[in-house]
A and B are shown apart, each in its own frame.
Chain A
């Protein structure tokens, strides 16, 4: 990590003794600081990723662990068996493709709704007086203090046939018979939008709070009515926040497993549930691993595109 362009020595706070030892090992303070997160990523991300990649190239078998080894040592010959059959299987069975599409759709629609609900909330918080702002932010974060699982369960109480919402609608005479909301895609949307809304609000808030009032006044002064000011000034300047918030909702939503399992119906097909079934019900670890890796690929490409767009727009606004 140490580049030859930076010959300046970085002094460690605890004396030259440690520095001398480190320099004998060819390490500088700077290298050490970067080494810790690098090591962390290596041990807890790259190694598991390679293990999963390895499993995805093996064959399922009834054994412990339930997959074949991809190499074996036999009489001085190393045999490497790479089985791409799992990936081909994902292509053959339309279930997987449908599940990916459905996941992307649900995540996308949820992100749009989270944005539509989150933007006005973030805007209101950012525009409120300092004293009220912290309380409102607290209210956004407060749900995190209870278990995520409990909060999703609570929605069952709201959405079920004899739940609170139906009881209210029946009592007020708006509907004659209870709506079926639980175990539908609708419930999954509600659950995902509810759960991930703070992830939308917080980055949007962080962006909108920096918006200079003088810019809004300038637009108004130059003849823009409030709606026009919003479209031409507020919204374009909020794009980095919108992108950050949308990614924080979209990425976890696509792999969401608990919410569709609890709120969704038998028709709700999300890749997270498929993964769970392959792994625990079918005990087909190789196919499950292949599903996981393809999901990663599905996610990484749009993320990289968005990051690029974000970096470009941030460069322009500074």
Chain B
């Protein structure tokens, strides 16, 4: 993490003295006996695009709804911009929410939907008109201003929902699965648009999503949630390359997990004897562990090289047979079977159009990865 030190202004979370914009302290939310959010503490900084990532029932939406004021806290506190939000009704908060269903008012035109929030603030009519026009052209809906929501496509509705929330110039914009209802292609386009809007307005965004790719694309930082708890917070790269638990490694992207025991523990490396892999695995970073401790090594599929001949200078080499191949265009995904019965997933970029000695089904191949590719997971 050498770049951690660079450009602290753009990454306030790396600065220990920076004041967080949102302070979530020991927040717990129970619905009857069910604990939806358990003792979550989290700091989010001004101007961030923070993603809460988790599966359904992980508590991410509940946490978002507590920030917007729709749910009360069972215990703990949420501070936004230095103000404790306890007892502040949603209509008195300077936060706005973009709903997963968009929640556009079906009986109002696009303009009226967008103007709704401004009208509640008793702003002069001329100013409302001007601000609505500005935001409508920002989200490129100019020719749809007088349409009703049911006359719009999914993508257009999503823009209206975004414009309606942004036009109030909130301190904090909360987005609940903002791309959930869009198809893949549109989603990818919209993601970058959302980042542009967020950067140009400088509003702090908190996005809830279950889509890890979306979280990786959008966010400055990601908070991974499961069973009501935040299990890891970090920049997308950090989360992907240095997952701290089996859950995070598995949830973000795909991963090969080799279970084993610590065989050799040095300052700059560890060796794990893994019955899963049928070999010793070399990891080139020190781990605070004890000899004989049960541990797992996670290796990303794209960090493994495949070759028909045994590579000479690789730290880790395993031999296996090709079981399945999935051709995805830019990549191919190989499913390899080790002699131990363990399956290993490897992805290789398809650099040339046709390989003469392309690896195919039933081939005996060697998998290799460097010492820096694996990550040791203790929990």
Q: Which residues of A contact B (CB under 8 A)?
A: 212, 214-215, 217-225, 228, 232-233, 236-237, 316-318
Contacts and interface: CB of A to CB of B under 8 A. Distances in A.
A223 B103 contact: no
Interface in B80-130: 89-91, 95-97, 99, 101, 103-107, 116-117, 120-121
B105 A215 contact: yes
Contacts of A224: 91, 116, 120
Given A212-B103, A218-B105, A223 B121 contact: yes
A220 B97 CA distance: 10
B219 interface: no
Contacts, number: 66
A316 B107 contact: yes
Contact of A217 (B70, B120, B121, B168): B70
B148 interface: yes
A217 B107 contact: no
| Residue among B99, B104, B105, B117 facing the most chain A CB atoms (10 A cut-off) | B105
A223 B99 contact: no
12 contacts: A212-B103, A215-B106, A217-B103, A218-B99, A221-B70, A221-B95, A221-B96, A221-B97, A223-B121, A225-B91, A237-B107, A317-B107
Contacts of B89: 220, 225
Interface of B: 68, 70, 89-91, 95-97, 99, 101, 103-107, 116-117, 120-121, 148, 150, 164-165, 168
Nearest to A228: B120
A219 B90 CA distance: 9
A237 B106 contact: yes
A217 B90 contact: yes
Instruction: Enumerate the 8 nearest inter-chain pairs by beta-carbon distance, A residue then B residue, closest first.
Output: A222-B117, A223-B120, A214-B103, A218-B103, A220-B90, A221-B97, A236-B107, A317-B106
Contacts of A236: 107
A294 B346 CA distance: 85
B345 to A, nearest CB: 39
Contact of B168 (A219, A222, A317): A222
B103 A215 contact: yes
Contact of A223 (B68, B148, B168): B168
Contacts of A228: 120
Given A212-B103, A317-B106, A221 B91 contact: yes
Nearest to A317: B106
Nearest to A218: B103
- The interface centre, meaning the residue of B68, B107, B148 with most chain A CB atoms within 10 A of its CB, is B107
Nearest to A313: B107
A228 B106 CA distance: 17
Nearest to A226: B91
Given A225-B91, A317-B150, 11 more contacts: A214-B101, A214-B103, A217-B70, A217-B90, A218-B164, A220-B90, A221-B91, A222-B168, A223-B120, A316-B107, A318-B150
B101 A212 contact: yes
A42 B27 CA distance: 69
B219 to A, nearest CB: 22
B262 to A, nearest CB: 51
A237 B101 CA distance: 17
Contacts of A218: 97, 99, 103-105, 164
Contacts of B117: 222-223
